Structure formats: C-alpha cells, structure tokens
Structure 1
C-alpha cells in the first residue's frame, strides 16, 4: 500500500543545494529533464535543483531517443540525468553519430544496477562526467552522491559518499553498526529524513527510531573510503537453499558480459531449494549470446548458489513510470 512521506520545503531545499554542489550543477548548465516530475528524480533533482542553481530547463514529457538526441543538439544540453536504460538507448541509437552531442558534460544515474562497462562507455563516448547517487522518498530523494573525481569502478559499484550534513550507518538486526565491508541494513540520519508517513503513526515509528535513524529497507555496506555500496533491497532478496542472494550482485556480473545491455534477476519458486534465480536480459544491437553462454559466464564469476538457474532473453525489460525495471511484472512473465 502506498504511503505518503511528509517532508518540508526547507528539507528539500537543503537536500538539493547539497546535491547540486556535489554534482557541480551551475547557472551555465542546460538540463534536459526527462525524468517524470511526479518522481523525486525529475521534480527535486530536476526542477528544484535547476531553480536553486539558475540552470536552464528543457523538458521532454515522454522519453524518445531520437527527440532527445535532437534536443541535445539544438538546445546545447550539458546535463542529462536518468536511469541507466536511458543511457543504453542513447549509446546504441541508430545514427547517433549524425548528431552534434559535444555539449554534453554530466550524466547522473542510479535507481538500478549500473554496469562498470556502461560508465566507461558513457565517459568515452558521450559524457566527460558520470555520477551515481542513492536515495529514497523518505530521505527527500537523496542520501549519497559520487564526485566527478571518482573512477569508473567507484561510480558504478558504489553510490558515493553521504551529502553534507547527512549520516549513513550500516547495521545488523540489533541496530549495532557493522564494520566496513559487512552487509547490513542502510540507516540514514539528518535534515533530509522525513517527518513521518501521512496519517500512519505506526508505520512512522517503525521507519524512524527515537534517535532519528531512518530504516531504509535497503541492504549494503560502506567501503574503506566511506562510499556506500548498495547490495539490494531486502524485499528483492531471495533465498537459495538457505543462502541469501541479492540480485544486484548477479545483475552486475551479467551486464559485464559484452553482449548484454541490461539485466534483471528475480527469485522464483523451486521444489528442492525453495527459490532459485531467474535472469532476464536484453542484448546490445548487433551482439549475439544465449542462455547457456550467460549461465556459463555467471558460473565462472559467482558462487554456485548465486548462478541463475535460467536466463531469458527479452526484447525489452518491463518498466514502471519512473523508468525502473518492474520486477513484479517479470515474476509473472
């Protein structure tokens, strides 16, 4: 059941001043807003950030890769944030080389697994700067952001460091902080944490404790440099023969295959093991691969229980209105 997260205007202003500073957004930028305005990505990291910095907004109501390429050329777009699928479509668009895209400066992505190979391609072919970020509606949309100086592995495999004034803790079931490198639930505290859920004090108390820590429901760890590594959502985790599997790790391996454009992994019922992984992938234009090849690719790089039992090749992955892969739809595919 959807819940309304209550945040104040002041909280959002502070959060997106910090986001804009970390991302390097300036009044000279021209920002193509393709994320929906009903979502934090389009409304807050888009409209609100542009108003705070005085950047020019160019709005595209519905994403279309050809129209986006034309807009970049004609409007001299410098900033183009979006989910990873947007960049895959831009990179693989037929006739991309016929457009002048030299104005592009900054890509900001997140909300899904970001392959290292995608970050490298983006930096080599389209954007000098590529950043990833992590957040949720209950934190005004942003918790952490990478920096322009971060290398491709850091950008792809982490969500950067907390924005100024925000704390991140990774804890076990007892809420005791875990050392770097150990997975646990991601907790957040700071000016960006919601006031609570609208008309739902019970859910509010479960989400935010008396010390102000927001339980995100996401799983991850902090690396040795303080970067947040998001392993996956607790609800996405599945259990294979008693072993926990987080789809993000498997998806990262699959998208490391040269022929794979995108990947999504879900748990499906199994009579012997309880659940096993099923992977859905799309293939890059002109590339060729198949289920056996991809299972073998995973078997060389993952523990046996993490290897998908089945790989399904699709023309496109189902998505919700904000561009995220709809895993509930995949489970019924």
Structure 2
C-alpha cells in the first residue's frame, strides 16, 4: 500500500503517466508532469528554507496551481494548512496562530476579497504569492536533500491541519497524518464509485475536507482525473462538465439541482455521467428511488466519509434512509448523550468513532481533551445503529429540542416531511413560543401547497408533538439562509420562521 503522498505520486506517474491528473478551466496537468513538477518545486521549497514538519498555510482558489503547491509540500513532509478564501482578516490571523503556521502562500485578492497580508502574525517566517512560489529555484544539492526527505516520509508523519467549518463555536484545527488521511480516502473509494477511469467533478473548495479528501486526494489515490474550477457558475460549470467528459458528479445536491434547472436552456448534453452521480443531473433511468441510496456521512475529524454504501446501488429496503455502514478501518458506537454509556441497538444517542482513519488530534488540545480513555472520539452527532449495522443520522446534539417535555430530532422531522407529495426539501428547527419551543419547518415545494394541507399530511407520518406548527413555504432552496460553508444558518432560519 502507498500511504504517503510521495509514494502515491510516484506510483500513479508510473501507472498513468499520460492521464490528466487535475484539470481546471485554464490549465491541466498529467500524472507524469505532476510527479516531475512537484519534485522540482519541492526542491525549490527546501532551498528556500522550508523543511519537514514545518507548517505552510495555503490561501488560494481551487485549480492546478493549488494542487501543485500543496502536493509539492506534502511529499517531502511539510504540513499543509488549507485556509478558506472566505476568511476575514481577524479569522485569518486567528487560524494562522492556532495552527502555528510558519510560512504562508496566499493570493492577495479573490472575488473582490482582499486578505490584508500585512496584518498577519509576527511568527510567520515568510509570506509569498503563488507567482513568487513558482519563481523559486532550487539547486542540485537541494534536489538531493528534497529527494531524500521525500523518501524518508512515513505514514505516521503529519500531513495536514484542516479547519472545521463548525456550525457553532470557533473552528478547530484538525491534524491528520499521511497514513490516516490516505487510508480514510481509500476506504471510501468504492462506495463513492471512484476508480482509475473516473473523471470526477467536485465543487467543494480544496480548503474543506470535501474538496481536499473527496476531490484531490481521492483522485490521486485512485489514479482518477479531477476536474475543478475556482468559481462554479451554472453556465460555465455545465460547459466544463461536457467539455471534460465528466463521468461522476459528486458534491452538494442543491448545486446539482440548480444546474439541472439551467440544463434545458444551456444546449449542453451530459452524456458521460454515470450512476453514482447526484440524481438531479442524471436521466430518469439512472436515478434512484427516494431513500434507496446511502447518504455518505463523515466529518473533518474522519477525513471525510466514514460511512456509506455503493453510490450506484440501492440498499436493502430495511435500510432506506440510512447513511450505510461504517467503512473498513472505522468503528462506530452509540452512547447515551448524557451518560456516555453504550446504548442498545436502535436507540438514538451520540455517535462516537474510533479507528486508524480518525484524526491524530486537534491543535492546542491534549489527547485527553479530544479522546476518551479507550480511544473514542465523541462526534457531537446523534444517530442510531440498526441490527444489521446501518447507521442513521439524527442531527447534532445541540440541534435537538423538547416540545412539551418530548424530544424532537430535526433530521427525523425533515426526513418525514420530504416523504410528502410535492415536498422536495425541508429544514426544521425550534421556534420559541409563549409556552415553550414549537416545531418550525421551512419547506421547498415543487407543486402548489398550503401549510394546512402539509400539516394534515404530516400528521400521517409523525407523532402529534413532532408535527410543525410554524410553516414557511418556499419556491426553491435559494430562500434557505446559508453560511459561508454552505451549511444552513439555523439562527437566520429560526428568525425567518419567527416572522412567518
């Protein structure tokens, strides 16, 4: 098994040298060229004073350049810290300090957002733009040192610090090694239908685990081709999918739905897409039945999905609506959210994970602060395991609320509402009332509907205390408030429901 970035680059260059590795709208690079150029760039980094174990932050949009720089650093043992292009100056400074970053590579501006690099922490040894990085030059001695350093990297060595996009609280700097990250990616390739013949499009930025693990490292591990772009837009994205003969579209369902709405007028035909892609862009004959396919489930701390089922295959009907089963290398258990004791089969509780693919730790936290004494990580997610080992997600521990003393799990209500005729999406949270919390639902309807009709239908599939009493009917998901990470902004959603 090749469980370092250096060994992956060498092996894939030998096996698929002429194949495209990464493609963006302006540039493409083959596996042979990626291997050669990252080796040369790595030597230039070493000559400039960057060594094994040093933390190097990367602040730039998706593209071939991002991949070249990150992989060049990773292969000789530097630790890459991807940073969001959405950060404010204050957030940027905080994350640089949290991750103890020593070198920063950053664009000065992206999409009108300037990063004020003159305000970065004094501990930084260097700040360079990508253009300055590509102008660096190595020398024969540095090339020999970089080569030796690359071959000396081991799976246990640190690879990256990835900040979570947490829905509440300050983002955490999650530490991963070469071995745990590559192992996590490899364990989910089959479920995500990624192999050497795949031409994968994934919209997630590389600074999120979905883009880094689900995109860049998935393609590298499988020998596949990754198609990416810095700024996804419906018309340009559809043209890119067609021109690059994309076979697998993964990512956000709402982006797929938005593209599907633009598709008829675009003149584009997506003839290469295969089953396993998001349903909205597939012809009807390749689409799954609602709930039949697993909802891949994971987090930054597990380096992406740790639970799933082949994306082109229906699960057993008894498991519909589940997230599939834990992948090899990952253990999952459910414990009482209050007691921490293992819960019986079928009971809802906190999800804990353990295994060789779990993160190595969190920046500035001791191991005792992160893991239980027997090595489990408490995810903060709620779920249950059925008798066959399928995992069902029930939201976050801090999302659940009580109505007249009875517990309501928003994800359970959302799933029930999505089963109603004419409902394409539902978003549920608590709304304060004179006698305590009420159930509020923002519902996207693809057919004429009224709150009264939906309430009546909901009574057929939900216990009475779970039936929403506050309704907001929307024509599309564009009206759903979201944060910078694409996650639903629950605070703003609650405010909208309070006004409805």
Normalising by the residue count of structure 1, what TM-score does the alignment of the two structures yield? 0.87
Q: Deviations over 1:16-49 (max 9, x none)?
A: 0111133231111111121122111111111110
SS at match of 1:7: strand
**Contact 1:30-1:58 at 8 Å conserved across structures:** yes
RCO higher in structure (CA 8 A, sep ≥6): 1
The equivalent of 1:73 in structure 2 is 242
SS at match of 1:187: strand
Q: Pick from 415, 427, 431: which aligns with 1:252?
A: 415
Q: Pick from 4, 8, 33: which aligns with 2:202?
A: 33
**Contact 2:238-2:263 at 8 Å conserved across structures:** no
Q: Pick from 211, 215, 219: which aligns with 2:382?
A: 219
SS at match of 1:102: coil
Provide closer, same or farther for how the CA distance between residues 222 and 332 of structure 1 changes in structure 2, counting only shifts above 3 A: same
Shift of 1:242: 0.8
Q: Distance in 2 between matches of 1:152 and 1:91?
A: 28
Provide closer, same or farther for how the CA distance between residues 58 and 7 of structure 1 changes in structure 2, counting only shifts above 3 A: same
- Give the 5 Å matches for 1:1-333: 1-93=170-262, 95=264, 98-107=267-276, 124=284, 131-147=294-310, 148-151=312-315, 157-172=321-336, 173-201=338-366, 205-272=368-435, 274-284=436-446, 287-314=447-474, 315=476, 316=478, 317-333=480-496
Provide closer, same or farther for how the CA distance between residues 50 and 289 of structure 1 changes in structure 2, counting only shifts above 3 A: same
Provide closer, same or farther for how the CA distance between residues 35 and 237 of structure 1 changes in structure 2, counting only shifts above 3 A: same
Higher mean alpha-carbon deviation, 51-60 vs 21-30, is at 21-30
**Contact 2:309-2:315 at 8 Å conserved across structures:** no
Provide closer, same or farther for how the CA distance between residues 174 and 56 of structure 1 changes in structure 2, counting only shifts above 3 A: same
Gaps of 5+ in 1: 110-117
Q: Distance in 2 between matches of 1:108 and 1:85?
A: 13
Gaps of 5+ in 2: 1-169
Shift of 1:206: 4.3
Shift of 1:98: 4.7
Name the larger-Rg structure. Answer: 2
**Contact 1:266-1:278 at 8 Å conserved across structures:** yes
Shift of 1:73: 2.1
Shift of 1:324: 2.3
Once superposed, what is the RMSD of the aligned Cα atoms? 2.6
Q: Distance in 2 between matches of 1:276 and 1:302?
A: 15
Shift of 1:66: 3.3
- Count residues in correspondence: 319
SS at match of 2:190: helix
Q: Distance in 1 between matches of 2:175 and 2:277?
A: 25
**Contact 1:4-1:197 at 8 Å conserved across structures:** yes
SS at match of 1:95: helix
SS at match of 2:248: coil
**Contact 2:274-2:282 at 8 Å conserved across structures:** no
SS at match of 1:236: coil
Q: Distance in 2 between matches of 1:39 and 1:155?
A: 29
Q: Distance in 2 between matches of 1:262 and 1:198?
A: 37
Provide closer, same or farther for how the CA distance between residues 4 and 215 of structure 1 changes in structure 2, counting only shifts above 3 A: same
Shift of 1:155: 7.6
The equivalent of 1:113 in structure 2 is none
Q: Deviations over 1:183-216 (max 9, x none)?
A: 1111100012222221133xx5344111110111
**Contact 1:168-1:187 at 8 Å conserved across structures:** yes
Provide closer, same or farther for how the CA distance between residues 97 and 289 of structure 1 changes in structure 2, counting only shifts above 3 A: farther
Q: Distance in 1 between matches of 2:263 and 2:305?
A: 34
Shift of 1:268: 1.3
SS at match of 1:46: helix
The equivalent of 1:114 in structure 2 is none
Provide closer, same or farther for how the CA distance between residues 108 and 187 of structure 1 changes in structure 2, counting only shifts above 3 A: farther
Q: Distance in 2 between matches of 1:123 and 1:8?
A: 40
**Contact 1:320-1:326 at 8 Å conserved across structures:** yes
Shift of 1:152: 8.2
Q: Distance in 2 between matches of 1:283 and 1:64?
A: 24
